[in-house]
Amino acid sequence: MKVLKFGGSSVASAENIEKVVVIVKQKAEQSNVAIVVSALGRVTDKLISAGKLASTGNEEYKHILVELEERHLAEVRNLIPVSAQSSVLSQVKKRLNEIDNICEGVYLIGELSKKTLDRIMSYGELLSSLIIAEKLKAEGVDVALKDTRELIKTDAHYGNANVDFDNSNLLIWQYFNQSSRITVLPGFVASTESNETTTLGRGGSDYTASIIAGALNAEVLEIWTDVSGMMTADPRIVGQAYPIDKISYGEAMELSHFGAKVIYPPTIQPVLERKIPVWIKNTFAPNDAGTLILENGNESPGIVKGLSSVDKIALLSLEGSGMVGVPGFSRRLFDALSRKLINVIFITQGSSEHSISVGVLEEDVIRAKTVVDSEFAFEISIKKVEPLSVERGLCIVALVGDKMRSQPGVSGKMFSALGRNGINVRAIAQGSSEKNISAVINEKDVRKALNVLHEEFFETPTKQVNLFIVGTGNVGGKLIEQIRKQQHFLKEELRLNVRIIGLANSKKMCFDENGMDLENWKEKLLEGETMDMRQFIQRSKALNKRNSVFVDNTASEAVSKIYEELLENNISLVTCNKIACASTYKNYRKLKQLAMNQNVSFLFETNVGAGLPIIGTLNDMVRSGDRVRKIDAVLSGSLNFIFNNFKEGVSFENVVRQAQTEGYTEPDPRIDLTGTDVKRKILILIRESGVAMEMEDIATDSFMPADCLEGTVDNFFAKLKEHGQVFDEIYKRANAEGKKLKFVASYNEGKAKVGLQAVDRDHPLYMLDGKDNIVLFTTDRYHEQPLIVKGAGAGAEVTASGIFADIIKTAR
């Protein structure tokens, strides 16, 4: 004997029922089958609504009943041949009239008891089982329709009745001992010894099938639904979720208790006792393997079998010094909740016994607080216990797996993954069986948490990285192009799925939660909404994506001021913008410390030397215990380009214009020529060396006439032309001595300066060409010969590559 149960989605329409019939006929070729069916999709909800509306005197209930009548009669006409329709329509109409009469009685007396509601709800399954049985008969199949109210006996706990297994098992065995090849039964419904209709709780059709399978010691219980088995996580939340091939009874019970909707939690118990396999199958993809639940299901690969969650949870905490060492507080708490029929989903207690916390559904909070505060009124009055504290807006996420008990580090891996993504854990519980590790988190973080944990425990180690990029000019455009070209490589070689979720320039911004198509990002941005930095940040935070990285490709002070907010919200930060790191030392340290505290990255390699590994090299030396004594550097690719191309017969003004045109200088070249940009860079290196220093502590030896620094950029170029002879003289003096002009930044034992210098032929800076940068680190370890980092220090391509490298470091 096989027992098959078909859920509401499987019998939601005539088209779906046709699929059910095909499956049933195939199964019946192999053995006798019992078919348990749910009500047509959403019918039970409508019956409940009709009953409740009737009890309040609202005649809208009649419209619902008319709708239900039309639907069921239409399904009969679609499924049953015309020649056989009359009898079936008559039987269905009779049932519908009974519902109408009951609801009219409820309407007249203005009362809906649980007993009456059970009677109303039962008609969903009674109607669907009748229609499906008649459809099978019309197909020429040997089929019987049996009312499960005659087989399953319960107590009178209406709404969620308790089964009398001894009596029910006997009745089931006696009936099926002489049953037809195929028996169709309504799920969900049962009756008391006095034949009053009861129900087995929402999802009770699964339970019905399990009770029958257990009583008959069936070969298998098949649960046919609209998904191909139990999934590693809810596929509506985790796009990468996939079906579990095998799972143990215990694991299935844990997952179903913690929100997995595929199977009703009590279903497992009757089949567990007789070790009957349960197979979760897909009505709409019957050839899919599905999930097999059996005693030794934990022998399949994988330490963690599934993730689940329960939303709309409130955390109730009872605490007080008067609880310490005093027995009975926990008992009284649970007794009080039990008296109000409040289900406790989660329990945790500190070893100090100072507090105990329980999780309940939010809908039970008011009743829970009332009864608990009443129970402990005396202790509260004498300050031994605090009034029950309530925290709403929470959910529970749970890892489930039998093998977790023998595998160290699972909890650490779980909480580390959540912590890296800024998900605060409010409470933790792990059962003594170690099949389940549960954490209470903020409800807004549940999507992120499940995706983070699924990525950590179930996926081949491909990490999703979500970028929010501000600045799409020369550097930003090159960066996006580099990401586009490297996406395949990153997935294949580094297991990184780098996606751009948000994109903005000074005029427009756009978002795509699934990652932008980088072939047409310019068009997407052009069609975007008006840029608003505050809105861009709020949207980035609200999306709450795992492994989020904000990329600042601007030189904007306004953008630099939002770094703190980003880091506080656990969004990593990669920037080529020097303003934040060259601001006050207090702000610089605050950002660094904040990144450390929030366990996110704050990387700014391109602040100095574009794509050159200057800061990274310096960090490695300092972290390994080396001490920086001296720094000598040419840190401006633009200034190096200018002075390498400034020669006799070429005006200084034209060289500066060329540098600006080719993108080597800032839009206002005075930032470069006054040494402001170089001062920021040497300051950052000094700070990364471990020395506290402010911008004003760095001396500047300026070679620029004062009036060149006034007015607009156009006025600046006019003054350069006017003072051409001054610059020519500077060049001639250096050239006459066989020296070259270099704008040098230096640090030596606590003192720093920047300025134009004429360097000798034997100096390492002399041969620096083009737009290259060079940094010489003299340290305790590199004291005879400095460690030198040299290369292209300006240009959109190399700067973008430096930013890209920081993104990859952040991701890994």
Which residues are part of the catalytic machinery?
681
Q: Give residue 669's Cα distance to chain centre.
A: 45
Give dist(CA 383, CA 386) in Å, integer. Answer: 7
DSSP classification of residue 216: H
- H or E element at residue 225: strand 220-225
Q: Is 129 helix (H, G, I), strand (E, B) or coil?
A: helix
Give dist(CA 518, CA 507) in Å, integer. Answer: 19
Q: How many CA atoms lie within 13 A of 61 on its CB side?
A: 25
Q: What are phi and psi of 673, to 5 degrees?
A: -70, -30
Q: Is 389 helix (H, G, I), strand (E, B) or coil?
A: strand
Q: Is 229 helix (H, G, I), strand (E, B) or coil?
A: coil
Give dist(CA 291, CA 278) in Å, integer. Answer: 8
Q: How many CA atoms lie within 13 A of 228 on its CB side?
A: 11
Give dist(CA 350, CA 539) in Å, integer. Answer: 38
Rg for the chain (alpha carbons), in Å? 37
Residue type, 153: K
CA-based angle 690:695:696, to the nearest 5? Answer: 125
Give dist(CA 516, CA 596) in Å, integer. Answer: 30
- Residues in CB range of 649: below 8 A, 6 or more apart: none
- H or E element at residue 715: helix 713-722
CB 690 within 8 A of CB 684: no
**Both tokens of residue 456?**
């950590």
CB 655 within 8 A of CB 646: yes
CB 449 within 8 A of CB 237: no
CB 496 within 8 A of CB 489: no
Any idea which residue has 């100090």 for tokens?
352
3-class SS letters over 631-698: EEEECCHHHHHHHHHCCCCCCHHHHHHHHHHCCCCCCCCHHHHCCHHHHHHHHHHHHHCCCCCCHHHE
Any idea which residue has 């007789």 for tokens?
274
Do the strands 751-759 and 740-748 form a parallel or antiparallel pair, or are they unpaired? Answer: antiparallel
